[in-house]
């Protein structure tokens, strides 16, 4: 799992929803090494700590990756001001990424994203072809909906839910998830999003006994495993471990995560 630290040119920048930015970055070495579910650690000029941002899409032919992030504070605001043509200082790719599996032809996988947890699920969905992937995307309201067309472009049958019903189905991602699981065709579930959503997805996966992987988030410093700042609690074989989201994760098996 080699990673790089360098300044890479920005090919494309766009604001895809209010305060949510999409960047395409030319970084052939990173694109070649990257896996869906990994992240990049970006330096924001004038700030001590880098910002961990998940990889949204990988294009190995063009040597690019795409990231999508929301402006949450001054650091991400600074990042969002970087124009195309400027360079992005990144340590990348970092973390383990989702496990992509060979699945039988009559089976499908489900990717679930909530809010700004949606972007990494796009690259994960893109790993499965031939109508093998269903996407369930949850947002607060219509204004926050992102990447729906992108999921359709990569061949995912896509359902969108909003908390207030202003777009798609009203309600939580677990409703379409359960509907799909009831059809009995699901081989694997992948999820990234806010903690309450992850808890619900993990419980649902347990009830239906479907393998599930989730991507966790935590305040991070080094991003490479050295500082042990981004701790998460993991239970394996009856034993408790404190692991690093950045290096041991960010993706963990659902049944091992203690939230």
Partner 1 sequence: MSKDLSVTVAGVRFPNPVIAASGTYGFGQDYTDLYPLNKLGGISCKGTTLEPRNGNPAPRIAETPAGMLNSVGLQNPGIDMFITGYLPQLKKDGNVIIANIAGATLDDYKQAVERLDSTDVDMIELNISCPNVKQGGASWGVTCDGAAAVTKTVRAVTKKPLMVKLTPNVTNIVDIAKAVEAEGADCLSLINTLLGMRIDIRTRRPILKNNVGGFSGPAVFPVALRMVWQVANAVDIDVVGMGGITTAADAIEMMMAGAKAIQMGTAIFTDPYSPLKVIDGLEKYMEENDLNSLEEIVGTVQPW
Classify strands 212-215 and 186-192 as parallel, antiparallel or unpaired. parallel
> Is 258 a binder of partner 1 (CB under 8 A)?
no
| Nearest distance, CB of residue 129 and partner 1, angstroms | 31
**Do residues 136 and 190 touch, judged by C-beta distance below 8 A?**
no
- Facing residues of 162 across strands? 139, 170
Closest by CA to 65, choosing from 36, 85, 89, is 36
What is the smallest separation between the CB atom of 221 and partner 1, expressed in angstroms?
5
28 touches partner 1 (CB under 8 A): no
Q: Of 9, 63, 155, 225, which lies in the binding site for partner 1, with binding defined by CB under 8 A? A: 225
Q: Single out the residue of 219, 235, 255, 259 in contact with partner 1 (rule: CB under 8 A).
A: 219
At residue 149's C-alpha, the angle toward residues 147 and 155, to 5°, is 110
184 DSSP β-pair partners: none
Q: What values do phi and psi take at 175, rounded to 5?
A: -65, -55
Q: Does 228 bind partner 1 (CB under 8 A)?
A: yes
Residue (of 88, 95, 80) closest to 34 by Cα position:
95
**C-beta of 192: minimal distance to partner 1 in Å?**
18
Q: Nearer to partner 1 by C-beta: 31 or 126?
A: 31
Q: Among 19, 218, 253, 256, indicate the residue that binds partner 1 (CB under 8 A).
A: 218
Q: 114 by DSSP, 3-state: which?
A: strand
Window contacting partner 1 (CB under 8 A); options: 141-149, 195-203, 222-230, 251-259: 222-230
**Contact flag: residue 82 with partner 1 (CB under 8 A):** no
| CA–CA separation, 144 and 131 (whole Å) | 26
Alpha-carbon distance 123 to 26, whole Å? 17
- Of residues 178 and 259, the one with the C-beta less far from partner 1: 259
Q: Output the smallest distance, CB 249 to partner 1, in A.
A: 12
Q: Does 35 bind partner 1 (CB under 8 A)?
A: no
Cβ-Cβ contacts under 8 Å for 56 (sequence gap 6 or more): 22, 65, 66, 67, 68, 119, 120, 122, 123, 147
Among 70, 224, 253, 256, binds partner 1 (CB under 8 A): 224
Instruction: For the CB of residue 227, give the shortest distance to partner 1 in the complex, in Å.
Output: 6
Residue 105 region by backbone torsions, left for phi larger than 0, else alpha for psi between -120 and 50, else beta: alpha
Tokens of 129: 């072809």
Least CB distance to partner 1 at residue 25 (A):
18
Binding residue for partner 1, selected from 230, 234, 251, 257, defined by CB under 8 A: 230
Kindly state whether residue 50 participates in binding partner 1, applying the rule CB under 8 A. yes
Name the site residues for partner 1 (rule: CB under 8 A).
2-5, 43, 47-50, 75, 91, 218-232, 240, 242, 247
């Amino acid at each position: 799992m080699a990673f790089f630290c360098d300044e890479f040119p920005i090919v494309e920048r766009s604001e895809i929803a209010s305060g949510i930015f999409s960047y395409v970055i030319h970084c052939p070495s990173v694109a070649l090494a990257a896996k869906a579910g990994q992240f990049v650690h970006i330096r924001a000029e004038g700030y001590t700590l880098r910002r961990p941002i998940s990889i949204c899409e990988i294009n190995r032919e063009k040597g690019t990756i795409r990231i999508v992030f929301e402006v949450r504070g001054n650091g991400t605001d600074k990042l969002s001001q970087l124009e195309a043509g400027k360079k992005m200082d990144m340590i990348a790719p970092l973390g383990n990424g989702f496990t992509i599996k060979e699945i039988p032809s009559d089976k499908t996988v489900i990717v679930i994203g909530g809010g700004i947890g949606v972007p990494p699920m796009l690259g994960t969905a893109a790993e499965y072809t031939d109508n093998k992937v269903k996407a369930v995307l949850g947002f607060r309201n219509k204004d926050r909906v992102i990447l729906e067309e992108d999921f359709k472009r990569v061949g995912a049958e896509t359902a969108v839910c909003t908390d207030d019903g202003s777009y798609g189905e009203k309600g939580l991602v677990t409703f379409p998830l359960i509907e799909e699981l009831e059809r009995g065709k699901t081989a694997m579930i992948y999820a990234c999003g806010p903690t309450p959503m992850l808890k619900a997805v993990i419980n649902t996966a347990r009830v239906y006994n479907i393998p599930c992987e989730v991507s966790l988030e935590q305040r991070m410093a080094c991003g490479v495993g050295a500082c042990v700042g981004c701790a998460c609690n993991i239970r394996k074989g009856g034993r408790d471990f404190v692991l690093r989201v950045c290096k041991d994760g960010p993706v963990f098996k659902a049944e091992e995560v203690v939230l």
